[in-house]
Amino acid sequence: MEKTGLKRSSVAALLALCAACLPPAVHAGKAPRFSDEPEVKDFIVFMHKVHGFDAAHLSRHFAAIRPNATVLRAIRPAAVPEQQRSWQRYRERFVNDRRTEGGLRFWQANERVLRRAEAIYGVPAEIVVAIIGVETEYGRNMGSFKVMEALASLAFHYPPRAAFFREELEQFLLLARENGISPLDINGSYAGAIGIPQFMPSSQRRFAVDFDGDDRIDLRHSVGDAVGSVGRFLQQHGWQSGEPVAVPARVAANATAETGIKPALTLQELAARGVVVTAAAGDALRPAALVDLVTPDAATEYWAGFENFYVITRYNRSSFYAMSVFQLAEALRERRTLDLTPRSENLATKIE
């Protein structure tokens, strides 16, 4: 047999480790219904006392779902070297011709609502389009997991983030009740994100807007609501209209600046610590973060990320994610500008 790079014993050890991470009933394929679990019963009592849910009715919902082993595997960090973080590999998934072409079509089809959202919230259309492109490829891939089952699996069977997902489960049940929808009928991502922009339930209840004027918020079917909600989310998290997102940076061998995503030092202070931006960035007193984009066996790519870069990470707390959104947005803006330029001007530019 061909060598796979891992000994049989190593593979067996990894599989055993993964299996050990799951409750015995889950990895054995005999998961009990959630309604039988003591923690879930306590949660049902909480939802009854705090929010007035009918306990028997909610118990029947939990009786219809079981812990989802696929969800619990998907949420865990990569365990083998081949799956370690790589900026180049991550970027290729989102900044490519397919998403650029799809984004241009989405922009053209929804130009009016994008323009209105930009006027109200101050977020450029290309940023909104890029986020939707990265999240669901413009609504094509909104997730096929039952959201209630996914959130319950993480809330009651994933201790590292149980508190977070239990709160999201609470918000999800409130959201479903407010919209008159059975919580068992809503699909989304393995982490419980919903709709065209993939909002977590708490974000939908707090930031989503009825942008199409039909007196209800529907992020699964309304592009208008999705566009307006992304714009409002970014605005509410501090988007600075007309300000830059990020610029490339050069880092000296003896640089002393620390990397991160939250702007903490001015460009002037970064320069004093061996970090120099390689493009026009305006005010030398503008706060920035030194962002490192690491790829194994390749040179690290450095950028100066400004407040708007940090705002994008409020959507997904990852520098890879924020930079993919920014670079896809830049590609969309450049292509759209080129496509809207009269043909005679394009020819003149090429001749020069």
Per the CB < 8 A criterion, the answer to whether 106 and 129 are in contact is yes
**Active-site hit among 37, 118, 135, 149:** 135
Would you identify the CATH topology of the domain 20-67+144-188?
Helicase, Ruva Protein; domain 3 (1.10.8)
Asked if 135 is an active-site residue, the reply is: yes
Confidence grade of residue 84 (pLDDT, cut at 50, 70, 90)? confident
**Global confidence as pTM:** 0.87
The ranges assigned to domains in the chain are 20-67+144-188
Confidence grade of residue 31 (pLDDT, cut at 50, 70, 90)? confident
pLDDT, one tens digit per residue, over 237-265 is 999 999 999 999 999 999 999 999 999 99
Per-chain mean pLDDT for the chain: 89
pLDDT, one tens digit per residue, over 178-222 is 999 999 999 999 999 999 999 999 999 999 999 999 999 999 999
